Amino acid sequence: MPRPADTPALTQVSAVLEGLSQTVAAVEDDLLSCLVVMGEPDPQRTVDAWVDQVVDLLRAVDEVTGQHLSTLSRVSTRLGDRDTSEDLTAAEQHDATLPVEQR
């Protein structure tokens, strides 16, 4: 049986995810601003491809982080709209524990 959502915990997780998103954006900017020049075409292509892959990974992490932040925001809003003495329905409890892609 799912446990009721813990509003302070949702706030803490949201803060951590926001920090992660800011860090990922800063790392992406730093990586893209650094121009590595190898001087040889083959090594240059290899380095450029590696940088592109890392930037793609950082963007994917940021996208998933944004999805989770959106989900946490919706759950927090639902919890905030309710009277504190009122329990969540079983469906809402279950929804709050599912990963984003399963909702």
Q: How far apart are CA 102 and CA 65, in angstroms?
A: 16
Q: What's residue 85's pLDDT?
A: 40
Structure-block tokens of residue 32: 């893209």
24 contacts 72 by C-beta, under 8 angstroms: no
Q: What's residue 40's pLDDT?
A: 93
Structure-block tokens of residue 64: 């998933």
Cα 51 to Cα 28, 75, 85: the distances in Å are 10, 36, 52
Q: How far apart are CA 49 and CA 41, in angstroms?
A: 12
Express each pLDDT in 74-87 by its tens digit: 988 888 776 444 55
93 contacts 4 by C-beta, under 8 angstroms: yes
Express each pLDDT in 30-55 by its tens digit: 999 987 888 899 999 999 999 999 99
